[in-house]
Structure formats: structure tokens, C-alpha cells
Amino acid sequence: MARVALVTGGSRGIGAAISKALKAQGCTVAATYAGNDDAAAKFTEETGIKTYKWNAADYDASKAGIAQVEADLGPIDIVVANAGITRDAPFHKMSPEQWKEVIDTNLTGVFNTIHPVWPGMRERKFGRVVVISSINGQKGQFGQVNYAATKAGDIGIVRSLAQEGARFNITANAVCPGYIATEMVMAVPEKVREAIIGQIPAGRLGEPDEIARCVAFLVADEAGFVNGSTISANGAQFFA
């Protein structure tokens, strides 16, 4: 039986590459998105991957959406909590709203995505959970107190879930991308971005496919003993 995989934020950027890689690996994939209907429709047309619209920051919407995915495709075996946003500002300028929006989406959103599928994984004694963290959760980043807090939190989540899930053959791991060529990184002011690229020994941004490769590895049936770990893919910019 094909494994059913849910990828939040799965129709654009790194998430789209993950959705496609899991499909190529034989999974039946559901990709969620929060707002961009056109991008989602185009993604489905190009890939044949079904998309679902809900806000990961909303627990009830996540629960209902996940129930719909399971009704359509069957029980979810693999969940990739990828949806994330930035609201960068130096701390002295960061508003409580910028703090809250990032916490709600990037951290509470991870809870909202995993919590509804967790009981089924325990019952069926199989599950693969991957959370997309970030290099900036490992090292911190000027202008990202909010984002770095959530991405460091992701690592705490998977290390704890790994211990709770292991006896049910559920793994939970994090992938920490470095700076990848996506809209999110392109939104960084050009001068700042060029300075960041100068700090990457690879001398370039990463590609979304290079992150998808890590996820494809972690969710395989054969990866059952890799649990609570963090894979860094950052062009040698930082070693955790």
C-alpha cells in the first residue's frame, strides 16, 4: 500500500519540492496551502498532487482539514510540518504582532499539524514525522528573534516526540535548511542576502530539491532507527 503523506505549505518553495519527492518515492501526497489559490491550482495541474486549503495556525481548521484528507486518501502515515513564515525585524523594532504571527504559524502550527494525526499513528504502530526547522534555529540570526525561537522549538518538539513515539515505530526528526533559493530568502534585502551568501562555504544558495532529499530519506520505511535527529543541509555554513 502506498504511504499517505501530508505536507503543510506543500505547494510552493521547499514544500513543493518535498511533495514532489514523496510522490516520486511512491507516496500518495496531500499538500496544504494557506492563501495562494492560483499557485495551488497550478501546482495540482502540473503534478497531479491534491491540495487542501487551511491555516496551520488554526487548530480546529487543521483538525477538520486532516479529517478530510484521511477521508479522501486514507490514514496519514507521514506528516511533514513545513509551513512557515518570517516577520523579520531587529528586536527593538519587533512588534508583539510580529512575534505572535510567527509563533502561531511556525510553532503552534507544528503542534496543530502533528497532534491530530498522532493517535492514529500510535494505533497503527507506524508513523514518520518531519519538521522543517532552520539553520537559524540552530545559530540564531540578527533580525529573527521570533523565527529563531520557533525553529529552535522545532528541535525540542522532535526530540520529545521521538521518545514518546519510538515504541510505536513512529519517528520524529528535523531538517535544518540553510539559505535556500525560495521566495522567502529572495525577500531578504539584496545587500543583506549577498552578505549571507558570502558566509556560505558552498558559495551559493541551496536548492529546494536538496532539502526534499533529506525528507525523502527520513520518511522511508527503512529509516526507522533514525529518530530524534536533526539533518543540516546548509552548504557548510554552520555545524550544530
From the list 39, 61, 73, 89, which residue makes contact with ligand CAA (rule: CB under 6 A)? 89
Find cell 502506498 and name the residue.
Answer: 2
Contact region for ligand CAA (CB under 6 A) — 35-43, 66-74, 122-130, 180-188?
180-188
Find cell 510552493 and name the residue.
Answer: 12
Here the cell at position 86 is 518570517
Neighbouring CB atoms inside 10 A of 68's CB total: 13
Contact region for ligand CAA (CB under 6 A) — 38-46, 57-65, 84-92, 111-119?
84-92
Burial (Cβ within 10 Å: 0-12, 13-18, ≥19) of residue 26: exposed
Neighbouring CB atoms inside 10 A of 225's CB total: 8
Quickly count helices (H) and strands (E) in the chain. Answer: 11, 7
Least separation in angstroms between residue 184's CB and ligand CAA is 5
Least separation in angstroms between residue 125's CB and ligand CAA is 33
Least separation in angstroms between residue 82's CB and ligand CAA is 11
Residue closer to ligand CAA by CB (options 105, 136) is 136
Bridge pairing between strands 78-81 and 50-53:
unpaired
Separation of alpha carbons 147 and 137, rounded Å: 7
Q: Please say whether the beta carbons of 106 and 150 come within 8 A.
A: yes
- 189 scored as a contact of ligand CAA (CB under 6 A): yes
Total residues binding ligand CAA (CB under 6 A): 20
- 142 scored as a contact of ligand CAA (CB under 6 A): yes
- 185 scored as a contact of ligand CAA (CB under 6 A): yes
Q: Taking CB under 6 A as the rule, which mask of x and - marks residues 40-79 in contact with ligand CAA?
A: ----------------------------------------
Least separation in angstroms between residue 189's CB and ligand CAA is 6
Please choose, from the candidates 160, 159, 158, 138, the residue with its C-alpha nearest in 3D space to the C-alpha of residue 149: 138
Residue in 33, 52, 59, 147 annotated catalytic = 147
Least separation in angstroms between residue 237's CB and ligand CAA is 9
Please choose, from the candidates 102, 84, 71, the residue with its C-alpha nearest in 3D space to the C-alpha of residue 32: 84
Query: What's the distance, CA 56 to chain centroid?
Result: 11
From the list 61, 166, 188, 220, which residue makes contact with ligand CAA (rule: CB under 6 A)? 188
From the list 30, 129, 179, 205, which residue makes contact with ligand CAA (rule: CB under 6 A)? 179
Known catalytic membership, residue 147: yes
**What residue is closest to ligand CAA based on CB?**
143
Phi and psi, residue 29, nearest 5°: -115, 140
Residue closer to ligand CAA by CB (options 24, 192) is 192
Please choose, from the candidates 92, 118, 103, 234, the residue with its C-alpha nearest in 3D space to the C-alpha of residue 171: 118
| Active site amino acids | 147
